[in-house]
Chain A
Amino acid sequence: MRAAGLDIGSRSVEFVVIESETGRVVHEREIPTGPAMAEECRLLVDEAPFDRLLATGYGRSLVEVSFGFPTVTEIKAFGRGAQAAHPGCRMVLDVGGQDTKVISLNGAGKVLRFEMNDRCAAGAGRFLEMTAAALRYEIDEFGAAARQGAPGTVISSMCAVFSESEVVGLMTKGSRREDIARAVHDSLARRIVSQMRRVGISPPIVFAGGAARNPCLRHLIEQDIGQALVVPEAPQRIGALGAAMLAAEASA
């Protein structure tokens, strides 16, 4: 039997197919989220055969309506995916495109508590993308560049859009590009850590979502909470993996 998970996020769509019995990943693919989401999802899921699929993420209800796929929330999917990637994990941090989720787990993948940022991208991955673009960095090099920056430059805004204008303000004042990059990461890390503390920090902690690949963000969070973060091999696919695991369990 093959079980599939489809995670339709605000910035990218991930598709994972596993072998139900072993949990082994047999197919995985990722595409950027586009305007013709339903059609693109259809093409994506037609790439590999499966017996059962669960959809999750921001766009899940679209495929539920269009194709009748059952759905599960990202909270449950990330909880299950993190448990699969790192058994016994007690906490998941997912920094996605438009939202940041912090989930506390019972050690067997069951959700105990969760927090999501509200209505605003200042605590999410999109904030990094916007500020990286303003500083003319590629997103993949942004974290490494920020690690070269000195601490002390401050970005205070609570809003992604206003933060971007703060970044521009710092540039016109002649601040070093690396230092501004560092300030952006400091600001995001602070917000994320306060969200984590609301839920209650309990290791082992899996860091999922695209932003987990950012070395500076990871370092700053680890430093602040005094705990190591476990970054799985493909952190952005944890949601799709979790949905696939839940699909496998539902059909078992």
Chain B
Amino acid sequence: MWTDLGLDLEAHAGLMNVLGSFYTDIYLTQTNRPKGMEYLDFVISEVHGLRIEELLAAKAQGRKVIGAFCLYVPEEILIAADAVSVGLCAGADIGTAQAEQVLPRNTCALIKSFFGFKLAGLCPYVEACDFVIGETTCDGKTKAYEIFNQYKETFVLEVPHTKSPAATKLWRSEIGRLVEKVETAAGKKITAANLLKAIETVNAKRAVLGRLNLLRAADPAPISGRDALLINQVAFYDDPVRFTKKIGELCDELEARVAAREGVAPKGTPRVLLSGCPMAIPNWKVPFLVEKNGAVIVGEESCVGERGTRNLVDLTGVDISDRDAILDRIAERYFKIDCAVFTPNADRNLHVREMSARNHAGGVIHYAIQFCTPYLMEAHGMEQTAREMEIPLLRLETDYSMEDAPQLETRIQAFLEMIR
């Protein structure tokens, strides 16, 4: 299977080894873990195994596999065309040397990582894809997709940077262009009926993640931040229906824990909200360092977190036989996402306030990937927001390497000393 996909077998085996021991250290050493996390352990153990086989089986049935790197790509449209939507590998310091042959060194770790995975032949997902969908969020990604297209067909969605009426119209027209592209590629019509079904599937997935996030308001916290992050990461590439069912079961277990006042850490453990850049698999460095030092993360104001899951497609009052009206609602839903590339972007500050208050965070850790200008810039406004809330905020700027772990740990420990 791997040779057919064109992976570098030796390097891939090395990656799997590292990932395995990394996962053991960060995940399997946790105590009081919910039993429902066994499903996630299984998914991770098969991340480059069974799930890839499933994708290849789908392809064999004539279905398309379409990859994406960003929240602005509407899964509903892909699913409506009976395609499989997968989030692509971008969370490890891998293939950096190859990536730096085509990209400037001062490029963020996420972009270098998706290039590295592709150029080093290490991501079976990107190889299994028929094409990938990029988007004009930050300048780095926008320009990187031009180059990426030389290695893998990349369809780029134009994401405007304001939410003006003209920008809103542009975004809606981009949704139309995507529908045409997906219909042509999949050889299937996207109808009102199959859109409705896809919306139901994706709304259910987002709703179960919303339920999980609400349960984390309890003290003691019923689940660690690491595990919650992992669930959000897996949401990008697992089968959505199976995932929703399994996470629903996990939430039942967590509900029982909350009722019994049980948790992963004692009541009164310092509680932290993470806010900022996405953490793609296996980017677990900061959450691990935070929780290893005696705190619990109670929310992710992040692309891999509530930014990606908080809004459902709202079909209230819509004519369910009107495909364009349904697409309007999809466009509206995605245009609510508060990515830092938008200006102004006050919704993000509002969400940090809401999440901190709702899940009782004693402090905010603002996480930005080095060279990610939009989030690094927004750290300033977040500091003001935190001051207004009278809780401390720690700004962290890092990449995917592990070399700065001791320095990060010192800052994190000092920050936790402040909120204890």
Enumerate B374-420 residues with CB–CB distance to A below 8 Å.
Answer: 392, 397, 404, 406-407, 410-411, 413-414, 417-418
A244 to B305, CA, bound (A): 42
Instruction: Note all chain A residues with C-beta closer than 8 A to B410.
Output: 58, 73-75, 116
B414→A114 contact, CB < 8 A: yes
CB closest residue in chain A, given B392 = A113
Query: Which range holds the interface residue count of chain B?
Result: 10 to 19
User: Which residues A100-129 have CB closer than 8 A to chain B?
Assistant: 111-114, 116, 118-119
> Which residue of chain A has its CB nearest to the CB of B394?
A114
Task: A76-B417, A119-B404 given; name 12 further pairs at CB < 8 Å.
Answer: A58-B410, A61-B406, A72-B417, A73-B410, A73-B414, A76-B414, A99-B407, A111-B414, A114-B414, A116-B407, A116-B410, A119-B407
A76-B417, A111-B414, A111-B418 known; A118 and B406 CB under 8 Å? no
For B42-54 the 0/1 string (1 means CB < 8 A from A) is 0000000000000
Binding site for B on A (CB under 8 A): 58, 61, 72-76, 99, 111-114, 116, 118-119
28 A–B contacts from the bound complex (CB under 8 Å): A58-B406, A58-B410, A61-B406, A72-B417, A73-B410, A73-B413, A73-B414, A73-B417, A74-B410, A74-B414, A75-B410, A75-B417, A76-B414, A76-B417, A99-B407, A111-B414, A111-B417, A111-B418, A112-B392, A112-B418, A114-B411, A116-B407, A116-B410, A116-B411, A118-B397, A118-B407, A119-B404, A119-B407
- Nearest B-chain residue to A117, judged by Cβ: B407
Tell me, rounded to whole Å, the shortest Cβ–Cβ distance linking A116 to chain B. Answer: 6
B residues near A74, Cβ cutoff 8 Å: 410, 414
Q: Which of chain B's residues has its CB closest to A74's CB?
A: B410
Q: Name which residue of chain B comes closest to A110, CB basis.
A: B418
Nearest CB in chain B: distance from A24 CB, A: 26
Residue of A nearest to B407 (CB): A119
Distance to closest chain B CB from A108 (angstroms): 14
Minimum C-beta distance from A178 to chain B (A): 34
Q: Which residues of B contact A99 (CB under 8 A)?
A: 407
- Interface positions of B (Cβ within 8 A of A): 392, 397, 404, 406-407, 410-411, 413-414, 417-418
Assembly CA distance A99 to B404 (angstroms): 13
How many Å from the CB of B133 to the closest CB on chain A? 34
Instruction: A114 to B413: give the CA distance in the assembly, Å.
Output: 12
Min CB–CB distance B323 → chain A (angstroms): 51
Q: A73 — which chain B residues lie within 8 A by C-beta? A: 410, 413-414, 417
Instruction: Please report the C-alpha to C-alpha distance between residue A72 and residue B410 in the assembled complex, in whole angstroms.
Output: 9
Closest chain-A Cβ to B172's Cβ sits at a distance in Å of 42
Docked complex Cα distance between A114 and B410 (Å): 11
On chain B, the residues within 8 Å of A58 by CB distance are: 406, 410
A99 to B, closest residue via Cβ: B407
Q: Which residue of A lies closest to B399 (CB)?
A: A119
Tell me, in angstroms, the Cα distance from A76 to B407 when the chains sit together: 15
Chain B hits for A113, CB < 8 A: 392
B417 (CB) vs chain A CBs: closest residue = A76
B-chain residues with CB within 8 Å of residue A118 when the two chains form the complex:
397, 407
Residues from chain A with a CB closer than 8 A to the CB of B407 are: 99, 116, 118-119
The residue in chain A whose Cβ has the minimal distance to the Cβ of B416 is: A73
Most chain A beta-carbon contacts within 10 A, residue among B404, B410, B417, B418: B410
Residue of A nearest to B380 (CB): A198
Give complex CA distance A119, B401 in Å.
12
Q: Are B414 and A75 in contact (CB under 8 A)?
A: yes
The 8 nearest A-B residue pairs measured at CB: A75-B414, A73-B414, A73-B413, A76-B417, A111-B418, A73-B410, A119-B404, A114-B414
Which residues of the partner chain B approach A76 to less than 8 Å between Cβ atoms? 414, 417
Minimum CB–CB distance from A155 to chain B (whole Å) comes to 22
**In the bound complex, how far is the Cα of B413 from the Cα of A111, in angstroms?**
12
Provide the bound-state CA to CA distance between A73 and B407, in Å. 11
**Nearest chain A CB to B266 CB, angstrom units:** 19
Which B residues are in CB contact (< 8 Å) with A111? 414, 417-418
Give min CB distance, B93 to chain A, whole Å: 15
A112: B residues at CB distance < 8 A = 392, 418
Within the complex, the shortest CB–CB distance from A194 to chain B, in Å, comes to 14
Among residues of A, the one whose C-beta sits closest to the C-beta of B418 is: A111
Quote the shortest CB–CB distance from B411 to chain A (angstroms): 6
Residues from chain B with Cβ under 8 Å of A119 in the complex = 404, 407
Query: Please, how many angstroms separate the alpha-carbon atoms of A85 and B50 in the complex?
Result: 63
Alpha-carbon distance A74/B410, docked complex (angstroms) = 8
Q: Which residue of B lies closest to A56 (CB)?
A: B410
A209 to chain B, nearest CB (A): 15
Q: For residue A114, which residues in chain B have a CB less than 8 angstroms away from its CB?
A: 411, 414
Bound Cα distance A137, B167 (Å): 61
Name A76's closest neighbour in chain B (CB-CB). B417
Give complex CA distance A75, B410 in Å. 8
Complex: how many Å from CA A74 to CA B414?
8
Taking the closest CB of chain B, its distance from the CB of A203, in whole angstroms, is 21
Taking CB atoms, residues of chain A closer than 8 Å to B414 are 73-76, 111, 114
Cα–Cα distance between A111 and B410 once the two chains are bound (Å): 14
Task: Report the minimum CB–CB distance from A76 to chain B (whole Å).
Answer: 5
